[in-house]
Amino acid sequence: MRKETQKLLLLSVLGLVSVNMAAQQQVKKDTIKNIDEVVVTALGIKRQDKSLGYVAEKVNGEEFTKTQNNNWAQALEGKVAGLKIQTAGAGPLGSAKITLRGSASMNMDNNQALIVVDGVPLGGTNTGTGNAAYGAGTGGDLPVDFGNNFNSINPDDIESVTVLKGATAGALYGSRGMHGAIMITTKSGKSKNGKVSVTFNSNTSFDSVLHWPDYQYEYGQGTLQKNTAGQYYYSYGASPDGVNTGSTSSAFGPKFNGQSYFQYDPTVEGQSLQRQEWKPYKNNIKDFWEVGTTFANNLSIESSTEKTAFRASLNYTKNNWMMPNTGFDRFNGALSIDHHASDKLHIVTKFAYNSTESDNLPATGYNNQSISYFMIFQNPNVDLNWYKPIWKNGQNQIDQIHPFSSFIDNPYLIAYEMLNGVNKKFITGNVTATYKFAKNFDVMLRSGLEITDEERTTKRPYSSANYLQGYYREQHINNSEFNTDILFSYKNNFGKFGFNASAGGNLRYNEYTLNDYRATGLKIPGLYELTNGISLLTRVPQPRDKEMNSLYGLASLNYDNVWFLDLTARNDWSSALPKADRSYFYPSAATSFILSDIFNLKSNNFNFWKLRASWSMVGSDTDPYNLLQTYNTSDFNNSAEVASIYFNPNLKPEMNTNIEAGMDFSFIKNRLTYGVTLYQNNTKNQIITVPTLIESGYSTRIINAGEIRNRGIEMTLGAYPVKTQNFSWNVNANWSMNRNKILSLPGEFNGEPYTMSSVGGVVFFNAVVGGSLGDMYGAKLQRSPDGQVIYGSDGLTAKSTKIEYVGNAYAKWRGGLQNTFKYKNISFSFSLDGQYGGMVYSQSHHKMSEQGKLENTLPGRDNPNGTFVGAGVVQNADGSFSANTKAVALHTYYGDYYRRANIETNSFDASFIKLREATITYDFPKDIVRNLKMSNLSLSIYGRNLLMWTKNFPLFDPEAATLNDSSITPGVEVGQLPTARTVGIQLNAKF
């Protein structure tokens, strides 16, 4: 007969909540422990998961350390249903946008989850360079990924992460919790018997490019020009063979067939004295990229007594990224002190310091100063080594080597002279004091701060395409946020009824300033100082201060631990809204029923059944200074200009109404668990910017309008198919689907689309009633009724001035699968995740196809006279269609078919599956560990982004996005940098 033991667990949580839980542990070896999991909810309150009427998924800290990432958040990818980590593919710091349950706001920057560290929200303000990703020919600069504040968190300091999904879960955080919250709990001292415990982790990893575009190396530079003998030829500069053909960026030249031409000769920095072999340099892009390295060492010390727990940690990370001369140095320090000053007073202090420095981070986008631009324009017959001297003979710091076009900068000049530096100090800290007035009544006071002090430098040398006389820029950014909470809590039991109530308030103040100095033109080449500038621009600092005051309350009721009800209420007063609507109130309700207990359904094979449901209404304000007309800083020194936006003094808060319901099950002695959730969000009174008549003196205005409905389903599955004394196999899977629909738009659009944003002037994210957020519009191929491509009389595709729907940037569904196998001291785990559907428009694909650089432009290369007939039809005068027979020059055909504005031919299915992570860990036997005077010792080999399966995606990565200024725009690739495949080794030792 099965034996059972009952253990009473008393969890005292910061004096806020005390929960008695009966934890049942089966003695039989094949039984999994059935302990009610505790998760961190809003305001840092810890709750039993079974008591919650909404979803809170917990991820343990080991997930963030077993495969080291430059951004800890990327370790969440594929592990949480409905969660998406979107990066811009813009360099080693890997800024990420975290969304939960899709997008609900027309403001594409306003859909992110809130990041909360030890109960204190992070502000999340990002500052870009002020430049768009598509900027070729504008004479400007490019975006640079300087990293988010939250990616500075040391993953070794993370104890656990709880993902609160939906507006109900984050309701107590107000506006910023409307799209859910990521609750980070950092480690504190937990050593046993008051002993000092020391942990040392050392990690070394190597990065290489995961996936390359489909470059062609069969044909070289040129545009099908013939010599006097009627043969295709190549000539760098005019030569006895014919006129110059070496100034084009296209690769529609002669086939590589062992012939010889006059080519560029680096020894004379011009045309070769004799004809040279016409051959491809098949690694003339790939060889520019190096094996990146990351070295990280973490040391932590902790100790605890009955009254005090202490932990301190230091971390140093050195990254050399895959692009030469790029990377960063990061130092983290953290301190945690948990002290019971008396039986009534409990004080917790946490402090973290981060310093990130880099001499150079890569610029991204489509512009001369981006390495992506060079990769697009590099021709198959050009040796990469020709560029390595950087400067022409005797022209150091004056004139670069770029022999084929003055618009294409030398790649080594980009890497070693066009520098984007940063020195960033980031400090977070909080003090939490809890005083217990009586057994059932206490008060918590918490004050937290977040301070960012960042200095950036931009250096551009002489002869760079956009700055012929050089350029130097300094940005000084100061951003501070202060949060203070007070919370009174009461708890009691009345027979079978349990009652907890909390009420309090929050004061939040954000202060932001930016100083920007630009020296256009340098008096002395290579001297980067503001005083060396020919023309100096100093922008007057423009403040972005904001204040929010709040009152809130929470009441929790349970009956016999089988029925739970949570009610919350919050009222905010925002300085960003007008006085009449500055105050806004919103409530929430959540309930859960433990049906397996209510109906006494428990058995060996059916262990747990929970029904949960919730409803909430959450308000959101806007950015500061959107109410009254203000002045913007001007490009003229110490001057300002009238803003082109007509601000709205009558703005109202945006409101989100959320309902969700779900069930959780546990079977076979808890070895099989399953959860399902259905939800719907309606967001109305969206605060959006719309165009206005230019006669008004403004180009846009801010209004309240529009309603979005978001619906979705999430499922999770966990299982232990095998569990014996020496071997176990654990499986976790998740699947999610989200659909949104635009229910209404401002009436003034009269059925016309509202353009929420655009990229490069060709891709438009348009909102149309009945459509969805993420809908992408642009030019398409024109087709006959039977679907054939229509061509004009010139043999090129028919053009239309109509902007049409092309596809949606968001996936139809996403899923993840994790497996962990353990055999004695060895464990092996791997994680797969992917998505089905979604679309990516690629600017790089357009340009490389237009220039004949990709394999898709090989068909027709051997056609007589270098012409091509497009497969399709032409429309006759009577409206009928006949086959297209018009031949056009091959390079003209491909240039037109893949033209930048043709969104259809440059867009691809974004479906993919990735082997996201794999880890093998060996835990050294206890006798060896004891002989070494240690308590634990393990060695791990790991990999990340090891393999990728796509539907013939021709570029770097279908998880593409564009960094525009500081915004990450999914579904569009403009100068994306390669994705890294990482392999590494990690040593963990504990003394």
Mapped onto helix, strand or coil, the DSSP state of residue 725 is coil
Rg (CA), the chain: 31
The Cα 574–Cα 547 span in angstroms is: 6
pLDDT for the residue 191:
66
Is the pLDDT confidence value at 18 over 60?
no
Is the pLDDT confidence value at 17 over 50?
no
pLDDT for the residue 246:
92
pLDDT for the residue 219:
97
The Cα 550–Cα 505 span in angstroms is: 5
The Cα 237–Cα 508 span in angstroms is: 66
| Mean model confidence pLDDT for the chain | 89
Is the pLDDT confidence value at 841 over 70?
yes
Question: Any alpha helices (H) in 173-299, and if so which ranges?
Answer: none
319 vs 53, higher pLDDT: 319
pLDDT for the residue 4:
35
**Mean pLDDT to the nearest integer, 528-556:** 88
Is the pLDDT confidence value at 30 over 70?
no
695 vs 282, higher pLDDT: 282
The Cα 226–Cα 243 span in angstroms is: 10
In 3D space, the residue among 602, 606, 591 whose CA is nearest the CA of residue 557 turns out to be: 591
pLDDT for the residue 487:
94
Mapped onto helix, strand or coil, the DSSP state of residue 233 is coil
pLDDT for the residue 638:
66
pLDDT for the residue 55:
87
Q: Which residues contact 332 (CB under 8 A, 6 or more apart)?
A: 152, 153, 154, 157, 313, 314, 315, 316, 317, 352, 353, 354
Percentage of the chain modeled with pLDDT above 90: 65
CA 187 to chain centre: 25
pLDDT for the residue 21:
30
pLDDT bin (cut points 50, 70, 90) of residue 549 is: very high
The Cα 710–Cα 712 span in angstroms is: 7
Output DSSP code: residue 112.
P
Q: Which residues contact 104 (CB under 8 A, 6 or more apart)?
A: 111, 178, 179, 656, 681, 683, 708, 710, 740, 773
Is the pLDDT confidence value at 936 over 50?
yes
Lowest mean pLDDT among 28-42, 156-170, 257-271: 28-42
Output DSSP code: residue 15.
T
Cα–Cα–Cα angle for 769, 775, 781, rounded to 5 degrees? 110
Rounded alpha-carbon distances, angstroms, from residue 151 to 71, 93, 97, 426, 873: 5, 8, 11, 11, 53
Cα–Cα–Cα angle for 50, 55, 59, rounded to 5 degrees? 90
Rounded alpha-carbon distances, angstroms, from residue 646 to 546, 574, 635, 642, 786: 20, 20, 21, 10, 48
Is the pLDDT confidence value at 34 over 60?
no
Query: Quick one: 266 exposed, middle or buried, by C-beta within 10 A (0-12, 13-18, 19+)?
Result: middle
Contact status, residue 92 vs residue 327, Cβ threshold 8 Å: yes
Is the pLDDT confidence value at 88 over 90?
no
Is the pLDDT confidence value at 418 over 70?
yes
537 vs 268, higher pLDDT: 268
Output DSSP code: residue 210.
S
pLDDT bin (cut points 50, 70, 90) of residue 791 is: very high
